[in-house]
């Protein structure tokens, strides 16, 4: 694999080179803003108390998503694409484990079973949709369905955070539509829509992370 091979996936990029996607790159500021706001929420929610390391990791991982995506849309080469996908994957799998711990009350050793479970879930969906379908957005279908499943689980348990997950799923669905149609609408909108994918994803991650922080902090006070 040539890690320096160029990549050209999005409407805004008209050729190779550094900073050929300025709007796509700058829109990743949304992830850094989200990380900062979540860090402030952690400080308020756990004022004067010790913050669990797993919750402290949430804003850090969101910032890393912003870093990986900025690198990809700046350099547009294979190694940057790997960083982009890697940090997103780490957040998704980490969040699933934390969800099982903080919302369902499982011990960490049992919550870790969510890792192979979600991988199998994603692999099964991958057999239904070709990898290049919907402009490559099929790789995020498991995440969308996962958010809906989390919301449904909390609704069944009558937990107030359920609504937040359904809202997050709605935002993420819009975001997926925009990502999918970035190239389709390119001739009518040369800037593309991928930058909106970044902004709405930052909102999605903020919603689910904030819900987890509030739920964990409330249980710690109980």
- Per-residue pLDDT tens listing for the chain (222 residues): 787 787 877 887 877 777 788 899 999 999 999 999 999 999 999 987 889 999 999 999 999 999 999 999 999 899 999 999 999 999 999 999 999 999 999 999 999 999 999 999 888 887 887 777 787 788 899 999 999 999 999 999 999 999 999 999 999 999 999 999 888 888 888 888 999 999 999 999 999 999 999 999 988 755
Whether 6 contacts 174, CB under 8 Å:
no
Report pTM: 0.94
Of 201, 142, 180, the residue nearest 9 (C-alpha): 180
Task: Name the packing angle between helices 141-156 and 114-128 (round to 10°).
Answer: 130
Contact 210, 44 (CB under 8 A): no
């Amino acid at each position: 694999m040539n890690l320096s091979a160029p990549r050209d996936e999005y409407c805004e990029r008209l050729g190779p080179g550094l900073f050929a996607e300025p709007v796509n790159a700058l829109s990743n500021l949304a992830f850094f803003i989200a990380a900062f706001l979540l860090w402030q929420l952690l400080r308020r929610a756990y004022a004067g108390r010790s913050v669990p390391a797993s919750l402290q990791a949430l804003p850090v991982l969101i910032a890393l998503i912003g870093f990986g995506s900025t690198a990809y849309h700046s350099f547009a080469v294979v190694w940057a694409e790997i960083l982009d996908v890697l940090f997103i994957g780490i957040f998704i799998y980490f969040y699933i484990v934390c969800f099982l711990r903080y919302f369902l009350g499982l011990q960490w050793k049992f919550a870790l079973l969510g890792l192979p479970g979600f991988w199998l879930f994603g692999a099964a969906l991958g057999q239904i949709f070709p990898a290049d379908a919907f402009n490559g957005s099929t790789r995020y279908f498991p995440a969308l369905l996962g958010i809906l499943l989390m919301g449904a689980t909390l609704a069944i348990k009558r937990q107030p955070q359920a609504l937040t997950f359904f809202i997050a799923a709605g935002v993420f669905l819009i975001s997926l539509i925009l990502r999918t149609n970035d190239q389709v609408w390119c001739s009518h909108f040369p800037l593309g829509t991928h930058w909106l994918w970044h902004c709405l994803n930052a909102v999605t991650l903020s919603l689910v992370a904030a819900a987890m922080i509030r739920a964990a902090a409330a249980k710690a006070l109980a």
